[in-house]
Amino acid sequence: MSTAVAEAPAADAIQSYLVTFIVRRFDPELDSEPRWVDYDVEMYPTDRVLDALHKIKWEVDGSLTFRRSCAHGICGSDAMRINGRNRLACKTLIKDLDISQPIYVEAIKGLPLEKDLVVDMDPFFAAYRDVQPFLQANSAPVKGKERVQSIADRARFDDTTKCILCAACTSSCPVFWTDGQYFGPAAIVNAHRFIFDSRDDEAQVRLDILNDKEGVWRCRTTFNCTEACPRGIEVTKAIAEVKQAVLKGRP
């Protein structure tokens, strides 16, 4: 007697959809201003916006320019504005967007546009370097041992260790858009990571840097940065804690 075996649905049984992407293009050798170009792409619900950009570049228009590397939300290189919000293209699924309407994709704001979805990250990384984002311990550790730290001390700055330097928070900040001298949320987050590290001896140096007129006091607490962070860092909270440390010293 034969026994019927249920077959798994074929992969091609998953329904695909024709999705319209409207991409803000800019070629400095050809364009005086950015322009919007639309592309119709066949997509599956579990595809990502990054997959759509790959299809456009590989199958439709090889001149489309954007950054990407790991494609797993770790490198932070494919941050862009998708439907008006800063996101990572590799983490944004088609099923999470309203595909009954066109999907708008453009470069992040506040940084010089180089080409299409690529911006000049030099000002962003200059601010990052200015806050001295590295451990500065004046005393040497015990020979043959690491610098010890309690679980509670490590937890104090755990949230801000998650930053991947994608610039999504900084380029979502309206102050950063209008003030090219503002350090921006990402730099302050990375200063926070060392200001509250019990092993570090130069917290005051960073606090003095961020007490500048273009430092933490330029933050207007709009929470754009927190909403934009793809790693879920409580950016606005971290900035508030740095403000308190400027006033009262590191606890």
Class of domain 122-139+150-248: mainly alpha
| Rg of the chain in Å (alpha carbons) | 22
User: Whole-angstrom Cα distance, residue 191 to residue 248?
Assistant: 16
Please tell me the pTM assigned to this model. 0.89
Domain boundaries defined on the chain: 13-119, 122-139+150-248
CA 230, CA 186: separation in Å to the nearest integer? 12
Question: CB of 210 within 8 A of CB of 131?
Answer: yes
Position 196 pLDDT exceeds 80: yes
pLDDT tens digit string along 214-240?
Answer: 899 999 999 999 999 999 999 999 999
**What fold is seen in the domain 13-119?**
Ubiquitin-like (UB roll) (3.10.20)
Residue 202's CB: how many other CB atoms inside 10 A?
A: 16
Which segment, 73-77, 137-141, 144-148, is predicted with the most confidence on average? 73-77
Mean pLDDT score, 183-193: 97
